Amino acid sequence: MKKTIFAIILSLALVANSLLISAAVRLPAILGSHMVLQQQSEVKLWGWCGPAEKIVIKTSWDTITYRTTGGSGARWLQKIKTPVAGGPYTITINESTILEDVMVGETWVCSGQSNMEWSGDQGLKQSLDEMPNATNQKIRFFYVPKSTSEYPQDDCQGSWKVCSPEEMKHFSAVGYFFGKKIQQELNIPVGLINSNWGGTAAEVWTPKAEVESDPELSMAANKIGALDWWPNLPGLAFNAMINPITNFEIAGVVWYQGESNAGTASTYKSLMSKMIISWRQAWQKEFPFYFVQIAPFAGYGNENVCPLLRESQTSCLSIPKTGMAVISDLVDDLKNIHPANKIDVAARLANIALVQTYGKSGLNYKSPMYNGMNTEKEKIRISFDNAQNGLISKDKVITELFIAGEDRQFQPAMAKIEGGTLVVWNKTIKAPVAVRFGFSNSAIPNLFSKEGLPVNLFRTDNWKVDTAPVKK
C-alpha cells in the first residue's frame, strides 16, 4: 500500500515537473518584436511563466546567457545589458519565444491630452502631407489604447510597429515629428510610446493616492466635470495606460497637456510635481520630462484662465530635469484649441532634448523668461533670462504690454528694446509699479529673442487676476 501511494506521489510530481518545463513563457505587450530598447542600459525583461520555471535568455548582440527562475506568483524578471545604439537584433527566451527585429536606441513616452494625441486621423494636414515620406526603419511606434482602471495594471494591449505611412498617420503628430528630429540628429533608432487621451486633466494621469492625500489637489480634482468622452477621476489613466509600461526602460517623457486644467491653475504646479515624481518613482529613474506650454485660445469661458495656467506651467521649470517649449506664436486660429502647427512644436521639444539630454551645442532652445524689474523714474526696465543676444519685435510697436500704477489699473504700454532688456512706460502713469505681458487668453505677442523664440508671458505683480465669466 505504501509503495502504491509513493508511486502515485512520484507520478504526480513528475507530471507537475513536466508541466513546469513545458509552461509557455508569456510577455507583456510592451515587450515584442520591432521594439526599441534603451541603449547602454540595464533593461528589464519580464513576464509570466510556470511557478519555479527556469528562464534562459540569449541576445544576438553578445554571448551572455542570462538565467532566472519564475517565482511562486508565476512571474519572472531579468535585467540584461544593452549595447550602443544599433540593430536589428533578436532575443530568444527559452528557445520557444523569439523577439525579432529588435533595435537598440532611445525611447520616449509621448503623453498628454488632445494636442499630443492629434494625428492624421483627425485630418491634421501636416501629418497627411508627411505620410509619403514616413517610411523609416529606425523609428518604431507603440500605441497604448485608451483604457481606465481603478487599480494599477501590469499589462496593456498593443504591439510595436515599424514607422510606415499608414502607421505614422495614426500616431501623435507631435510625438512623430519629435522622434523624427531626434532620429535624424543622432542617427540612431528611436522608439516612441504613444499614451494620451484628449480632454483628460492631469489628475487622471496621477496616482489616486497622490491626489487624495492633498486636500487642495483633492478639492481641485472634484471640480473636473464628468463627460462621456474621457475619464475625470484621479489615477484612472495612470493605472491602465502608464503603470503597465513602467518596467520598460525609457530615455524620458514629452508631455502636452493643460487645457483641461485651465480652471485649476492654482494647484497645477503642485499636481505636476506629484505626477512627475510618481512617474519617476514608478520607473525608478529621474528621467527628463519636457513639456509644451499651452497655446493662446479665445474660447475659454472665463477671463485669464489660460495665462494663469501658462504661468503655473512656467513655475514647473523648478522641478529638476524639466524643460518647456513656449508656442504662443504658433497659433493660426484663436478659436481652435488645437493649433495646426505641430512640426514647430515638436522641433522646440526636440531641441530641448538634444541640448539637455544629449549634449548637443549650437541649438536655440530656451525662450526668454522674465527675470526682474527696476523702476527708473516714470519707466520700468524689465530684464530677462535667455536673452543674451538681445530681443527683437516683428513689428514697430511691441504688442500685449500693459503697465499700472498704485491704482492697479492696467493701461497699454509703450516699450523700447535695449539689448536684452525692455523699457516700458505710459505717459499718463507717473509712478508705475507693475507690468504685464501677454497676459490674456488670446494674446499672441510679437516680442522674440534674436534667435526667433517667443518671449514667455509674465507679470511683475502678484495681484488678484480677473477670472470672471467672459462677457458674450
- Indicate whether 8 pLDDT > 90: no
Residues 449, 389: Cα–Cα separation, whole Å: 7
Domain 104-356 has CATH 1.10.1040.10: no
DSSP structural state of residue 456: P
pLDDT for 14? 42
More confident residue, 398 or 16: 398
Query: Does the pLDDT of residue 156 top 90, yes or no?
Result: yes
pLDDT class for 17, splitting at 50, 70, 90? very low
Q: What is the spatial distance between Cα 50 and Cα 25, in angstroms, rounded to a whole number? A: 8
> In sequence order, what are the residues at sequence separation of 6 or more whose Cβ sits closer than 8 angstroms to the Cβ of residue 467?
302, 303, 304, 305, 308
The answer to whether the beta carbons of residues 453 and 368 sit under 8 Å apart is yes
Mean pLDDT of 453-471: 97
**298 CB neighbour count, 10 Å cutoff:** 16
User: What's the pLDDT tens digit per position in 382-438?
Assistant: 999 999 999 999 899 999 999 999 999 999 999 999 999 999 999 999 999 999 999
CATH assignment of 26-102, among 3.40.50, 2.60.40, 1.10.10, 1.10.1740: 2.60.40
pLDDT at 472: 77
Q: Cα separation of 185 and 350, whole Å?
A: 10
Average pLDDT on 464-470 reads 96
Q: Which pLDDT value is given to residue 459?
A: 98
**408, 435 Cβ separation under 8 angstroms:** no
Q: pTM score, two decimals?
A: 0.94
User: What mean pLDDT comes out for the span 64-70?
Assistant: 98
Grid coordinates representing 80 are 540584461
Q: 326, 367 in Cβ contact below 8 A?
A: yes
Mean pLDDT of 440-458: 98
Judge whether residue 316 has pLDDT over 90.
yes
Banded pLDDT at 225 (limits 50, 70, 90): confident
Least Cα distance to 404 among 374, 430, 373 occurs for 430
Confidence of residue 20 (pLDDT cuts 50, 70, 90): very low
CA–CA separation, 233 vs 148, rounded Å? 10
- State residue 24's pLDDT score: 82
Cα distance between residue 73 and residue 377, in whole Å: 74
Task: Output helix, strand, coil percentages for the chain, rounded to the nearest 5.
Answer: 30, 30, 45
Q: 265, 202 in Cβ contact below 8 A? A: no
Q: In terms of pLDDT, which residue wins out, 16 or 99?
A: 99
What is the rounded distance in angstroms from the CA atom of residue 336 to the CA atom of residue 296? 9
- pLDDT greater than 50 at residue 228: yes
Question: Would you say 383 and 390 are in contact if contact means Cβ atoms under 8 Å apart?
Answer: no
Say how far apart CA 60 and CA 56 lie, in whole Å.
14
What does the pLDDT read at residue 39? Answer: 98
Q: Check residue 23 and give its pLDDT.
A: 57
The full set of domain ranges for the chain reads: 26-102, 104-356, 369-459
pLDDT tens-place string over residues 119-143: 999 999 999 999 999 999 999 999 9
Handedness of CA 243, 244, 250, 256 (dihedral sign): negative
DSSP 187-255: TS-EEEEEEE-TT--GGGGS-HHHHHTSHHHHHHHTTSPP-SSS--STTHHIIIIIGGGTTS--SEEEE
Average model confidence (pLDDT) across the chain: 95
State residue 409 phi and psi, 5-degree precision. Answer: -100, 110
- Peptide bond preceding 215: is omega within 30 degrees of 0, i.e. cis? no
**How many of the other CB atoms lie within 10 Å of CB of 145?**
13
pLDDT tens for each residue of 161-213: 999 999 999 999 999 999 999 999 999 999 999 999 999 999 999 999 999 99
